[in-house]
Structure 1
Amino acid sequence: MNLAEATWTDVRELETNLAVVPVGSTEQHGPHAPLGTDVLNARAVADAGIERTDLEVVRAPAIPVGVAEEHRQFPGTMWVSPETFRSYVRESIESLAHHGFDRVVVVNGHGGNVDALREVGARLTRSERAFVVPFTWFEAVGEHSAEMGHGGPLETALLRQCHPDLVREDRIDEASEGAADGWGEWVSYANLAYDSAEFTENGVVGDPTEGTEQRGEALLELAAESLARLVEAVATRDVSRPERR
C-alpha cells in the first residue's frame, strides 16, 4: 500500500507490521540527470521490490533531502546536517511504529546517507521501538556495484529504465567527457577531497554512456529481488535483543 495515496481508514484495516521507506537526496547528478535522481531511483526500487513479495507492505513517502553538502558548489543541491537527517528519519520511522509498522526497511539511493542510516537503524532496534534495516540499492546489484560512481553508468541506466523522459540525452556526451574516473583524491588510502567539485568539473563520476536502458532493466531486477528477500527476512526475524553475557 502506498501510504500517501491511502486514507486513514484504509490504513486502519491493514494487518501488517511491515513498512518500506525510500530515502534519497536532492543534489547534482551532472548535466544530464535530474537533481532528484537518488529519490527517483530509491522509490522505483522500493516499489519493484514490494511487487516481488506476497507480503502486505506499507510504502511510506520518500524522504527527498539527505546528507549531501559535498555537492554544495553545484546549484540546486540541497542538504541537511547528519544530525538533522538522523533525527528526521528516526522520528518518521517512530511515527510508523506508533501505528504498528515496526519492522522497517529503509531503501536508500544516496551514498552520503549510508552511515547515518546505519546509526538510525541501530538506535531504533536497540531501543526496541522498531526493527530497522537500511538497504542501499546500488550495493545489492552484484558485479555492477563495482562501477557505481555519481551520475555514472548505474544511476543513468536505472533512470533510463524507470524515468527515461528525465534523462537529457543531448547532454550525455558532455557528461561523459567531463566526468572523473573515480570518487575523490586518494593518497596513502586517505581521501584528500571533501567536496565533489574538487575532482569532477561537471559533477559526474563514471561514464554515463555505459548506462543503457537494458542495463537499467537488469539493475532494477537485481535490486528488487534483493529487496524482496530482505523484506521477507525482516518479516520473520526474531527481533528480541540478546541477553547480557
Structure 2
Amino acid sequence: MKIADMNWFQVETYLKSDDRVILPLGSTEQHAYLSLCTDFILSNKLAEETGEGCGVPVYPGLPYGIAPYFSAYPGTVTIRPETYGDFVTDILASLVKSGFKRVLIINGHGGNCPVEEIIRPWLGKVPECRVLFHNWWSSKAVMEAVHKVSPNASHASWMENFPWTRLAEVPLPPEEKAPCDPDNLKQLPPEKVRSILGDGNYGGAYQAGDDAMLTIWRTAVAETTHLLDTGWTN
C-alpha cells in the first residue's frame, strides 16, 4: 500500500478508518561488496511488505542518512544530524497535518539513531501524535534469528547479504572476517576508519545460505507487523 500508488482522495478515505502510516529511513554508504544502498533497500522493502500486509500506507523511504565515519569511501553520502533531524521533523509535521497520528519509522541505519532524540522536542508539542522508532536490524527477534546462524555478524557482513542487496557477478571473499571494535572506530577520523576496516565489513562471513537469510527476513516482517498492530500507547 505505497503512497506512490495512491491519490489524495484515497488517503482521505483511508484516514476515516485508520491513522497509521509507515516511514522508512535508510542510508547510502559503503557496504563492502554489497550495494551502497543496502540500508535503504532493506528498510524500504520491509516497510512495503509490512504495509501491504496490514493495509497501511507507506511513504517513500529516505535513501540518505547520517554516515560521516564512512565518508572516506567513495559513494557514501552523509547528512548533518541537525539537517536530517529537521527534515524528518518536517515530514512528520506534514503527516500529522494530513491526519496521520501514529507513525512507524522503520530505521535501517545505525547512524540515524540520533533522530529519535532530535524529534522528541517536537513530539512534546504534538500530544496527539505517536511515533515508533524501530531499528529493525538490531531488534530482539531479528538478533535472535541472526545469532542462530552465527554470532559474528555486523555491518556489511553476511547478515546484510540478502538476494536483493547483493550485486550480480561481484565475487565475495571466502573467508570469515574477524570482528572489529565499533566503539574504537567512533573515536577515529574517516580515513583511519577506512584504513582499519579495509573493505568495510565490520566482521563475519560475507554470505550465508539464502534459506537462513529468508528466515531472518520473515522474522523481521512478522516482528514489524506485530509492532505496527500492537506497539502504540494511549
CA positional deviation for 1:138: 0.9
Question: What's the counterpart of residue 167 of structure 2?
Answer: 167
CA positional deviation for 1:48: 2.5
Distance 1:170 1:49, change over 3 A: same
Structure 2's unaligned 5+ residue stretches are: none
Question: What's the counterpart of residue 107 of structure 1?
Answer: 106
Q: How many residues align?
A: 223
Q: TM-score, normalised by structure 1?
A: 0.81
Task: Determine the C-alpha separation between the residues in 1 that align with 2:155 and 2:186.
Answer: 16
Where does 1:1-80 land on structure 2 (aligned, <5 Å)? 1-14=1-14, 15=16, 16-30=18-32, 32-53=33-54, 56-80=55-79
Q: TM-score, normalised by structure 2?
A: 0.85
Which of 149, 155, 158 is 2:154 aligned to? 149
Range that drifts further, 17-26 or 4-13: 4-13
CA positional deviation for 1:67: 0.4
Task: Determine the C-alpha separation between the residues in 1 that align with 2:20 and 2:90.
Answer: 17
Task: Determine the C-alpha separation between the residues in 2 that align with 1:155 and 1:132.
Answer: 26
CA positional deviation for 1:49: 2.4
SS of alignment partner, residue 73 of structure 2 = coil
Distance 1:84 1:185, change over 3 A: closer
Cα deviation code 1:66-101 (max 9, x no counterpart): 101111011110011000111111111111111111
Percent same amino acid at aligned positions?
A: 24
| Residues 153 and 205 in structure 2, CA contact (< 8 A), matched pair in contact too | no
Pairing 1:222–2:219 present: yes
Task: Determine the C-alpha separation between the residues in 2 that align with 1:114 and 1:147.
Answer: 22
Where does 1:234-245 land on structure 2 (aligned, <5 Å)? 234=231, 237-238=233-234
Where does 1:100-139 land on structure 2 (aligned, <5 Å)? 100-120=99-119, 122-127=120-125, 128=127, 130-139=129-138
CA positional deviation for 1:10: 1.8
SS of alignment partner, residue 59 of structure 1 = coil
Which of 167, 178, 181 is 2:179 aligned to? 181
Where does 1:199-214 land on structure 2 (aligned, <5 Å)? 199-214=196-211
| Residues 22 and 47 in structure 2, CA contact (< 8 A), matched pair in contact too | yes
Distance 1:198 1:171, change over 3 A: same
CA positional deviation for 1:148: 4.2
Task: Determine the C-alpha separation between the residues in 2 that align with 1:180 and 1:94.
Answer: 44
> Residue 158 of structure 2 aligns to which amino acid in structure 1?
P
Task: Determine the C-alpha separation between the residues in 1 that align with 2:167 and 2:204.
Answer: 14
